[in-house]
Structure 1
Amino acid sequence: MRNGSRRSVTAVATVTAVVLGVAGLSACDVFGGDSSAPDGGTKRAATAKPAPAWDRSPASVAAVGDSITRGFDACTVLSDCPEVSWATGSDESVQSLAVRLLGRTGAAERSWNYAVTGARMADLPGQMQQAAAHRPGLVTVMAGANDACRASARAMTPVAEFREDFETALRGLRKVSPKSQVYVSSVPDLKRLWSEGRTNPLGKQVWKLGICPSMLGDADALDAKATARRDKVHDRVVAYNKVLRDVCAKDRRCRYDGGAVFDYRFGGEQLSHWDWFHPSKDGQSRLADIAYRTVTAKKAPVT
């Protein structure tokens, strides 16, 4: 073979080797460093579905829950007052979540309140069905206080049942309206409310009509038995909030408030001047503040 031919063959071989080498590097990049293992971690990460972006300005709001979301005792004694509801009310002094998100006209046209005074978590699946029918941009959930506020501490809803009912409610929503976002409020600190309200004689008289007997019964009793009863109710509320946090965390379109409502220290101005237990108009406004901050935050609260 002539020298010129040998040089040509050598050049071709060199170029071929470089091309094959580059191809080999490309294969490693695609398959996470091992071209013989196409199921490597990098490929799985690339094909995994990203979490949906949280919409900080939903186009409609539906509310489910109990007496707090109905504005109970905020306007007149032992009566609902939904116009001051933290979630969907129209009262100017409250500036509900719906008004803040949608404007006054938008809130009137595209918000719905299916909360019921006295409702427990077992009632939430039915309420959620009603809310889901509108396919709302956001559903607000505030429930659990009545599961703890029973005739006695022994009658409180078991934690396992509470969890099952909440999971059922979310599954029902997802079947009908899979893209609806959910804001979940923690259950308020009932023991804190007892501590604040028991100094008011009028409030204690209203409590005797049957408001949260497990916590508020024998309001002035400070003996070991009464203290143990209230501590048991308090611990159950803490357990309920853990359920709300954990179940919500498994839903990609759900935000828990991080315990903000439970941690909020309601004072005299934030409590109904009829029963000194439910939120007043001012208290409803504070709940709207917490909800709005959670819904419009770039990231969910750390829990």
Structure 2
Amino acid sequence: MRRRGQTRAVLAVVTAAVLATGCGAFGGDGARDSGTGATRSAPKPVPVWNRSPDSIAAVGDSITRGFDACTVFSDCPEVSWATGSDAGVDSLAVRLLGVTGAAERSWNYAVTGARMADLPGQMEQAVARRPELVTVMAGANDACRASVSSMTSVAGFRADFEKALSALRTALPKTQVYVASVPNLKRLWSKGRMDPLGKQVWKLGICPSMLGDADDLTDTAALRREKVQRRVEEYNAVLREVCAKDRRCRFDGNAVFDYRFDTGQLSHWDWFHPSRTGQARLAEIAYRTVTARRP
């Protein structure tokens, strides 16, 4: 009887220990199960920036329309750096989507003469296509006015750009944005003024704030051009700052502004807009920015 009582006591202690440790200690469903069936890998994070977007919409001004690249005073969207089909340009759309893909899944809503105030309306058109990438190149016409006093204010420029991005984000929160810097207008003046024909074309009203009286080298003219140049730099600072607040927006880091366009990259009809070769350089800059591992 004493031995039976001792056995019962031992069994009671063992049972209590088993209940306290739980089934997991013996290969059940507990947290300490080291079997392969219980191991679950965490889901891979979705990248914020897709370097291979499947569709593109372009907004902006005459540069994105290929103005004066094919014929005088005419748009030539087939050579657009953003969405063009010209083989010599090898546009951003062709590089990313292929020739067929670019023809089917890229759209150009840029308008010659457009300013930043026109960008929200263009963006609404782009949104309707639901693109995975939107390219933006605007601001030159905000500086290229009849006079320095007519240039778009920096505050107005910022408000219009923010409005355009807000319209995109409200409708398409995951669509990516590539923003090109405003070109260096003073450099375009310094290169184009060497051509007599180009200066005659400028008199028709191409960027008068910078290009007007192209041979006037007085202090007054130099100050005027410097004010325009400073405003372009301020516009680019706005593009960089606003874009930096959106994790799906990439600014080109002033690559377009810094590019040393030469006469070979300028239209020989107006010595201001990019030629086919110039459009190809813009496409290279855009592709390099969009496909970079990091902004």
State how 1:122-201 maps to structure 2 within 5 Å: 122-201=117-196
What is residue 238 of structure 1 aligned with on the other side? Answer: 233
State how 1:235-274 maps to structure 2 within 5 Å: 235-274=230-269
1:151 and 1:167 map into 2 onto residues whose CA distance is 25
State how 1:21-170 maps to structure 2 within 5 Å: 52-170=47-165
User: Deviations along 1:38-84, whole A, 9 cap, x unmatched?
Assistant: xxxxxxxxxxxx89521000000000000000000001111100000
> Residue 133 of structure 1: CA displacement?
1.0
> Residue 226 of structure 1: CA displacement?
0.3
Contact 2:61 2:115 in 1 (8 A): yes
After the TM superposition, which parts of structure 1 deviate over 6 Å for at least 4 consecutive aligned residues? none
2:125 and 2:76 map into 1 onto residues whose CA distance is 20
1:174 and 1:143 map into 2 onto residues whose CA distance is 19
1:202 and 1:255 map into 2 onto residues whose CA distance is 38
TM-score normalised by the chain length of structure 2: 0.84
1:51 and 1:229 map into 2 onto residues whose CA distance is 49
For 1:293, which of 270, 284, 288 is the aligned residue?
288
User: Deviations along 1:214-244, whole A, 9 cap, x unmatched?
Assistant: 0000000000000000000000000000000
The one-letter amino acid paired with 2:246 is: D
Contact 1:269 1:280 in 2 (8 A): yes
Kindly, what percent of the aligned residue pairs are identical? 77
The one-letter amino acid paired with 1:113 is: N
5+ residue gaps, structure 2: 1-44
1:217 and 2:197 aligned: no
2:238 and 2:48 map into 1 onto residues whose CA distance is 24
> Residue 135 of structure 1: CA displacement?
1.1
The one-letter amino acid paired with 1:200 is: D
1:241 and 1:132 map into 2 onto residues whose CA distance is 24
Secondary structure, aligned partner of 2:194: coil
Secondary structure, aligned partner of 1:64: strand
From the superposition, tell whether residues 51 and 226 of structure 1 become closer, same or farther in structure 2 (CA, over 3 Å). farther
2:281 and 2:123 map into 1 onto residues whose CA distance is 24
> Residue 177 of structure 1: CA displacement?
1.1
The one-letter amino acid paired with 1:292 is: Y
The alignment yields a C-alpha RMSD, in angstroms, of 0.9
Contact 2:266 2:278 in 1 (8 A): yes
TM-score normalised by the chain length of structure 1: 0.82
Single out whichever of 240-249 and 172-181 deviates more from structure 2: 172-181
Contact 1:215 1:229 in 2 (8 A): yes
What is residue 204 of structure 1 aligned with on the other side? Answer: 199
Secondary structure, aligned partner of 1:211: coil
5+ residue gaps, structure 1: 1-49
User: Deviations along 1:151-171, whole A, 9 cap, x unmatched?
Assistant: 001100000000000000000
User: Deviations along 1:234-279, whole A, 9 cap, x unmatched?
Assistant: 0000000000000000011000000000000000100001000000
